């Protein structure tokens, strides 16, 4: 948690990590595109690395389900947006585990690029839907949001993602998939922090429009993650299709 606090207290460091997040996707897909890369992206993760990924997968899966349930009963679009964001991260972490088991296959590069393209497409659809809902919420802010359960759930999510980031941080420099997963957890923690701030604003000042603002910010975060992923994975698949079998 101490490391997460260091990141959250330095905006410049957060911007640097976001840039590294984009670079992680770009670097990983460039490895597929060109057929070469550093040793950490080509080798199987160690047992400790896989254990960290599995723990993150279980925690994120369980919490995203709980978050979805609370969002349905609290009428909070921002909490629903974060639940959707975390649900897509379940797929991203599962993809990292799957990629680790496929490195010895001859068609592993094509499979990895195709999975990344599907992941990016789902993210874009989710971002589009959330953007529409956020605009609707801003034009006609709901007044029946239960801020207390939203704040509690967001605070728990901040702790869950902080724990995952702490577990993955120790291996983030050893494997590109693990680094991408680590940065996903930081992005999730940022989303939860935004939901928590929005809930507090609603509880303290009755600013129900804050829910729509946070939802729109999460939609933008998802889109900025998805667009480079779709572009690079599509280019990689085109490149691989022209290569001899």
* Cβ-based neighbours of 96, under 8 Å, separated by 6 or more: 53, 177, 178, 180, 181
CATH code assigned at 119: 1.20.1510
DSSP assigned state of 102 = S
Instruction: State the Cα–Cα distance between residues 14 and 6, nearest whole angstrom.
Output: 10
pLDDT confidence of residue 177: 64
Q: What is the pLDDT of residues 154-186, one digit of tens each?
A: 999 999 999 999 988 887 776 666 777 787 888
Structure tokens at 213: 């603002």
Structural domain includes residue 185: yes
Q: What is the pLDDT of residues 82-104, one digit of tens each?
A: 998 898 888 878 877 877 666 66
Instruction: State the Cα–Cα distance between residues 183 and 21, nearest whole angstrom.
Output: 6
Instruction: Give Cα 240 distance to the centre of its chain.
Output: 27
Q: What angle do CA 210, 72, 197 make, to 5 degrees?
A: 25
Domain enclosing residue 143, as ranges: 57-241
pLDDT confidence of residue 111: 73
Secondary structure class of 136 (helix, strand, coil): helix
Q: Return the closest-CA partner of residue 27 out of 15, 40, 16.
A: 40
pLDDT at 2 over 70: no
Structural domain includes residue 28: no
Greatest Cα-to-Cα distance within the chain, rounded to the nearest angstrom: 63
Distances in Å between the alpha carbon of 234 and those of 60, 156, 179, 240? Answer: 28, 37, 22, 10
Structural domain includes residue 18: no
Structural domain includes residue 22: no
Tokens 């990590």: give the residue.
17
Structural domain includes residue 44: no
Q: Which of 33-37, 44-48, 103-107 has the lowest mean pLDDT?
A: 33-37
- Backbone φ and ψ for 114, nearest 5 degrees, come out as -65, -45
Whether residue 188 contacts residue 218, with contact meaning beta carbons closer than 8 Å, is answered with: no
pLDDT confidence of residue 25: 45
User: What's the structural domain count of the chain?
Assistant: 1
pLDDT confidence of residue 100: 67
pTM, 2 dp = 0.74
Structural domain includes residue 165: yes
Distances in Å between the alpha carbon of 48 and those of 11, 174, 185, 210, 213? Answer: 30, 11, 18, 41, 39
Structural domain includes residue 2: no
Structural domain includes residue 1: no
Of 232 and 82, which is predicted with more confidence?
82
């Amino acid at each position: 948690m101490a490391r997460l606090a260091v990141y959250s207290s330095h905006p410049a460091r957060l911007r640097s990590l976001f840039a590294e997040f984009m670079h992680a996707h770009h670097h990983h897909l460039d490895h597929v595109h060109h057929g070469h890369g550093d040793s950490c992206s080509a080798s199987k993760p160690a047992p400790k690395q896989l254990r960290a990924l599995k723990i993150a997968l279980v925690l994120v899966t369980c919490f995203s389900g709980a978050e979805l349930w609370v969002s349905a009963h609290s009428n909070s679009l921002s909490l629903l947006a974060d639940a959707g964001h975390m649900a897509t991260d379940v797929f991203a972490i599962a993809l990292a585990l799957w990629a680790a088991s496929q490195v010895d296959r001859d068609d592993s590069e094509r499979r990895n690029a195709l999975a990344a393209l599907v992941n990016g497409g789902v993210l874009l659809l989710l971002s589009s839907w959330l953007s529409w809902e956020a605009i609707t919420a801003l034009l006609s802010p709901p007044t029946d949001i239960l801020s207390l359960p939203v704040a509690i759930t967001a605070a728990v999510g901040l702790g869950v993602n902080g724990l995952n980031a702490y577990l993955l941080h120790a291996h983030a420099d050893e494997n590109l998939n693990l680094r991408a997963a680590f940065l996903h957890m930081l992005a999730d923690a940022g989303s939860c922090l935004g939901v928590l701030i929005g809930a507090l604003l609603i509880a303290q000042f009755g600013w129900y429009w804050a829910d729509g603002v946070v939802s729109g910010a999460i939609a933008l975060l998802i889109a900025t993650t998805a667009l480079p992923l779709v572009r690079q994975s599509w280019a990689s698949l085109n490149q691989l299709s022209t290569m001899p079998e």
